[in-house]
Structure 1
Amino acid sequence: MRRYGVQPIASITDDLDFAPVIIVAMGRALWRYRSELAPVTLATLCLLGGWILHQAYPTWWPAVLATTALVALLLTVWGRWVNLTRPIERGYAAVTTAFTGGCLTAGTVFGPLSRPLPVVLSIGGVLLALPWWAHRRRRARVHVERTLAAWPDIADTVGLAGSRVQSAIVDLWGYRFRLALGRGQTVEDAINRIPNLESALGSRRGAIRVQPVPTKHANRADVRVIETDPHADAIAWPGPSITSITQPVKLGLFEDGSPVRVSLLRRHALIGGIAGAGKSGAVNVLLGDLTACPDAIIWGVDLKRGMELQPWASCLDRLATTPQEADALFADAVTILDGRADHMTQQGHRTWEPTPDAPALILLVDEYAELVDEAPEAVRHADSIARRGRAVAVQLVAATQRPSQKAMGKGAVRSQMDVRISCRVREQRDVDLILGQGMLKAGWHAHRLDAPGKFLISAPEHDTPRRARTYLLDDNDVQRTATHHAPHRPHLDTISAAALESATINPHTSTEAQTTGRHARSQGTQDAENALTDALENAPADGASMDDLMRLTGMGRRWVYYRLDELTRADSVAQVSRGRWRATPHNP
């Protein structure tokens, strides 16, 4: 039969059997490279749509043109809602939409094959396709789709058999996908298999984050793959983010670029981590925001002779640098706490609402563990403040390297800390010391933080382990910020001042003895009043300093401060600059 050019029937049957295989292979190839072929697909649909509209609805061209303009405008203004995060991406989408819509409108009026429309569509399509083919996020999305297409095999390899990928999103730093875990699997199982996932997905070490989904489903997890570390470089501090202690402080940025905001009002805070991990940076960011609040007074304790907090001294109402000063500072804080509590009881109030006339009191302690050995009385008062200070807005912020029970004074201080910030730690067990028992097992791996300033935060509004990095304030930023905020810092309220004034009388002394003591001190107090008045009237143009007033009156800092506060409220004294006063010209 082959002699006469006739093909055998069996051969024809074999060719027909191969036809479906070829069609399926072509379909798979087209689907696999659908992203690369998107410009060709769009041009084909434009020609087909123009031919249909030209044949059936040629008068619809104004509607096509108006729809094109509307869609292009929406992409330009609100393109971020469809994952077009950068302005250049929104502009490219708008230009492509306008070009395609223009060709479709022309095809509706004149026909898609009328000259020179095919040439214009070909040239314009190639020019607009070049950015699409070169776009990093598109290529990354294709890579992610192809990687996750093999997830069933990956899941079997890493020990998460039965799980499946529900959705995936590519961003500027990598990609993330929602994982539906198999029956009986938990988020902790996925966290424990992070090293296996890093190997199976071909990522670098430490590049994968697994956290629970904030829903009611216990078998859902968000897996994030970091390909470009957004925290590779330090993040410059943008300036104060709040103007009131009632607002959440912004400490830095998470890895997805969202800000780390946490409320400090009526909360105690603990900052931990090894030396050089970034605790001082976090303290500087806190002070940069808190000193901008006119309804918060800050008292500092730095037993390293003020090495860390001295640059902020002009904004601190008090700064203790010795154990004796620390004991006095904490004793006064407890006195204020009791005075505010008594006042609130009399008024029938349950919480102290901070205002510029009644500010919150924040006690910021650098290297808290130093207090235990050098100022045990201060530690005892700190324990009382931790237990009773929230309602009256007397709050404690403590920074230390390793907050063990011994280092925190064996009291209730550590257990009362609502906000926990952990910079890098050297040992895994220190994670539970800083963040709380069981946090290491739950995926809070502070021992894997790899740069100064990176931290994990645990707070009522932050209950999942998300890596973040604090802003950076260099010495010039600290000096400039402190100088700018110093003239606007508030004074202690009258209720707290009255509590401190009344505490100068020994409560264990009899009434008769107190009366005798008052009479004995009255003449000396009057002399001090006269000396203070003379010093303020004769003060130079830049004012008299606190040290000068203490020397001339022979009184302590507390007495001089509160007399100045009373005279300032009476408009008899003006504060020329931070720490310097003089009598007002119209009313000496």
Structure 2
Amino acid sequence: MRTKRTFLAPHADAIAWPGPSITSITQPAKLGLFEDGAPVRVPLLRRHGLFAGMSGAGKSGGVNVLLGDLAACQDVILWAVDLKRGMELMPWASCIDRLATTPQEAENLLADAVVILDGRADDLTRRGERVWEPSPDRPALIIVIDEYAELASEAPRAIDYADSIARRGRAPAVNLIAATQRPSKDAMGKSAVRAQMDVRLCFRVREPRDGDLILGQGMVKAGWHPHKLDAPGRFLISSPEHDIPRRARTYLLDDEGVQVTAARHAEHRPSLDAVSAQALQRATEAPAPLPQPAVRPSPRHARDNAVREAEEALTTALRQAPDDRTSIGDLIRATGMRRTWVYQRLQELGHARQVEQVARGRWRALPEIHDP
């Protein structure tokens, strides 16, 4: 009598995340394993990415693995948009330089990213260079947008900024990683973003047509079948290095692992580079002037006074901070200025050896600033 053989699929069980696979955005990230055990490696520098799949298919886990790698890179600034009020990305907040959780914050964040893009492009032109080479002093900027479909419906003006970044962000190293579990035609098919996605991870989808929306028209007929993926974490990847359908599985990075990883790398995250910070500062509107006295000063005089008062308030807050350290939030409240202005001023004082960063978002005055 014949006995029926049972074949176990490779990676039938979840694969524990082994830790960050890179320390620089210039290295290819390892996002999982193919069914034959080969690593899924993909370069991310100057590339936009799309992570998509139905609820429960493992899309969020794939994004966590990516963030685990990027958090270990000291030449990457992370910004993020999470319109679920931070439910998905808040555990990474200590490694994220800027996190938008409302439609207005998302619009402002992406608008500022376009400002940075333009500022870097101008800097490259002045230097006679073609591309922004990331380093800890001049980091790449990667913007992770969770549930891109929600952004399209709740903050439509933000999509215009996302389109601009998708089209022009490669050379100045300003890149998007969009994730969605709802790859509708309205969200993914009417903007430049999807067309510009160099790296696409497609987890399980409900229908074949969803696979074409994510991977590209005609991909299902060509043998890409994400609707047949049968376990959470399994995906297909389309990129310049991966142009044939091969099933893969992402690593499992659980909530505890996220907390440990974020805490390990939070204190080593880079600050926004001077070129980008200056571009944001130039784009920032001057503070509203105080009520005008009988003899009106010139607008420039009023602006100079406001900036001088803010600088004095910053110095005082640093000098009087408890335990010789203070947070960015406290400095914003003390000066009445925007975060970008505070960061720029701190960088200037840091170069002059008057202040230093002692932890993520916390600064202290060095002895020179205590002197009268």
Which category describes the TM-score, using the shorter chain as reference length?
Answer: over 0.9
Please, which of 163, 168, 172 is the counterpart of residue 383 of structure 1?
163
Question: Match for residue 255 of structure 1?
Answer: 35
Q: Which one has a bigger Cα radius of gyration?
A: 1
Shift of 1:505: 5.0
Q: 1:155-554 alignment to 2 at 5 Å?
A: 227-408=7-188, 410-505=190-285, 516-541=298-323, 543-554=325-336
Whole-angstrom distance in 2 between the partners of 1:318 and 1:471: 26
Cα 1:516–1:328 change in 2 (3 A) is farther
Letter in 2 for 1:239: G
Letter in 1 for 2:262: A
Whole-angstrom distance in 1 between the partners of 2:53 and 2:16: 21
Please, which of 551, 557, 571 is the counterpart of residue 339 of structure 2?
557
Whole-angstrom distance in 2 between the partners of 1:245 and 1:300: 17
Conservation of the 8 A alpha-carbon contact between 2:277 and 2:340: no
Shift of 1:587: 4.4
Shift of 1:495: 1.1
Conservation of the 8 A alpha-carbon contact between 2:204 and 2:230: yes
Question: Unpaired segments of 5 or more residues in structure 1?
Answer: 1-201, 205-226, 507-514
Letter in 2 for 1:520: A
Shift of 1:565: 2.1
Shift of 1:409: 7.0
Letter in 1 for 2:226: A
Letter in 2 for 1:452: P
Conservation of the 8 A alpha-carbon contact between 1:542 and 1:580: no
CA RMSD of aligned residues (A): 1.7
Secondary structure of the residue aligned to 2:110 is helix
Question: Match for residue 357 of structure 2?
Answer: 575
Conservation of the 8 A alpha-carbon contact between 2:81 and 2:99: yes
Shift of 1:520: 1.5
Letter in 2 for 1:554: G
Conservation of the 8 A alpha-carbon contact between 2:278 and 2:344: no
Whole-angstrom distance in 1 between the partners of 2:45 and 2:309: 42
Whole-angstrom distance in 2 between the partners of 1:544 and 1:277: 42
Determine if the alignment matches structure 1 residue 585 to structure 2 residue 358. Answer: no
Show CA shifts across 1:467-488 (max 9, x none). Answer: 1111111111111111111111
Show CA shifts across 1:78-122 (max 9, x none). Answer: xxxxxxxxxxxxxxxxxxxxxxxxxxxxxxxxxxxxxxxxxxxxx
Conservation of the 8 A alpha-carbon contact between 1:265 and 1:393: yes
Shift of 1:492: 1.1
Conservation of the 8 A alpha-carbon contact between 2:148 and 2:179: yes
Letter in 2 for 1:371: L
> Size of the alignment, in residue pairs?
357
Whole-angstrom distance in 1 between the partners of 2:107 and 2:167: 18
Question: Match for residue 85 of structure 1?
Answer: none
Letter in 1 for 2:301: H
Letter in 1 for 2:317: A
Secondary structure of the residue aligned to 1:413 is helix
Shift of 1:365: 0.1
Conservation of the 8 A alpha-carbon contact between 2:31 and 2:40: yes
Secondary structure of the residue aligned to 1:386 is helix
Shift of 1:337: 0.7
Show CA shifts across 1:443-467 (max 9, x none). Answer: 1111111111110000000111111
Whole-angstrom distance in 1 between the partners of 2:5 and 2:227: 20
Cα 1:539–1:505 change in 2 (3 A) is closer
Whole-angstrom distance in 2 between the partners of 1:572 and 1:416: 44
Question: Unpaired segments of 5 or more residues in structure 2?
Answer: 287-296
Show CA shifts across 1:35-70 (max 9, x none). Answer: xxxxxxxxxxxxxxxxxxxxxxxxxxxxxxxxxxxx
Conservation of the 8 A alpha-carbon contact between 1:269 and 1:418: yes
Whole-angstrom distance in 2 between the partners of 1:263 and 1:365: 19
Whole-angstrom distance in 2 between the partners of 1:409 and 1:566: 44
Letter in 2 for 1:539: A
Q: Which moved more, 1:264-273 or 1:553-562?
A: 553-562
Cα 1:537–1:241 change in 2 (3 A) is same
Cα 1:250–1:517 change in 2 (3 A) is farther
Conservation of the 8 A alpha-carbon contact between 1:364 and 1:398: yes
Letter in 2 for 1:318: R
Secondary structure of the residue aligned to 1:271 is strand
Conservation of the 8 A alpha-carbon contact between 1:402 and 1:433: no
Cα 1:482–1:520 change in 2 (3 A) is same
Letter in 2 for 1:393: A
Q: 1:14-53 alignment to 2 at 5 Å?
A: none
Whole-angstrom distance in 2 between the partners of 1:544 and 1:326: 27
Secondary structure of the residue aligned to 1:521 is helix
Q: 1:63-142 alignment to 2 at 5 Å?
A: none
Letter in 1 for 2:302: A
